[in-house]
Amino acid sequence: MEIVISGRHTYVPEAFRKTANEKLKKVELLSPKVNSVKVEISHENNPKLAEIRLRVEITVYGLGPVIRAESAASEALAALDLAVDKLQERLRRNHDKSINHKSSGAALAKSKEESAGSGFNSENLENELKHNTELAKTISSPEGFESSTIADSSALEAHLAVGESVEARLSETPLVIRRKVHAGEKLSISEALERMELLGHDFYLFIHESTGRPAVMYRRHGWSYGVIELD
């Protein structure tokens, strides 16, 4: 399993790299199919946000869905610990779901065998089952950046391959826009909701498998969610 650690507009101390590598070794125990783990630490320069000035984002890539967790704190180690705790909970959730899915598959195969020749419609059962995862404070430094350089706004219109991203400042304003290209997946609404929860995001872009339209799942309030489709 490869672990890649980088800084976004901040320097990454060697002590942080060592601690992160030690903590993330446990990821393979919860998800043996993981190929790589990306850790990104970023720094917030606003003094009013000192208590959450350091943000750590951990993304796990493997054969299954992408799983992400992030957290912010005043110290790098504290943010890392919170992010790792969230990540482990999502990895366990995904692992348990995988086990339940295998159990359901085995039960379905058994039911098909038992219903063979009995006139029982196993296809209906299959469809039903288908609908039923002490480090010191890190300070911002203009040197040693490991993140992409902020480009001119024209870069936002450039062609990007899947997985590529670019950051650009909008005209003469202080606004910075980050653009990234992801591969589109055909998913059901329930699958898109599950992916969104595993990433810890408030929205998730996907291709609705029933309509073939681009869609976004988003969190509204409480246990309420919404889906918007483009025609």
Q: Give residue 121's pLDDT.
A: 46
Residue 188 to residue 205: CA distance in whole angstroms: 12
CB count in 10 Å sphere of residue 118: 7
What b/e readout covers 54-65, taking b as 16+ CB neighbours within 10 angstroms?
Answer: bbbbbbbbbebb
Question: What pLDDT is stored for residue 176 in this prediction?
Answer: 83
CA dist 143 and 140 (Å) reads 9
Domains of the chain: 1-145 (3.30.160.100), 148-181 (no CATH), 184-231 (3.30.505.50)
Q: pLDDT tens for the chain, 231 residues: list them.
A: 899 999 887 888 888 999 999 999 888 887 778 889 999 998 877 777 777 788 999 999 888 788 889 999 988 889 999 999 999 888 888 777 765 545 445 544 554 454 444 443 444 444 444 444 333 333 333 333 333 456 777 888 888 888 788 888 887 787 888 888 888 889 999 889 888 888 888 889 999 999 999 999 998 887 889 999 998
> What does the pLDDT read at residue 125?
41
Per-residue HEC secondary structure of 102-171 comes to HHHHHHHHHHHHHHCCCCCCHHHHHHHHHHCCCCCCCCCCCCCCCCCCEECHHHHHCCCCCCCEEEEECC
pLDDT (0 to 100) of residue 133: 32
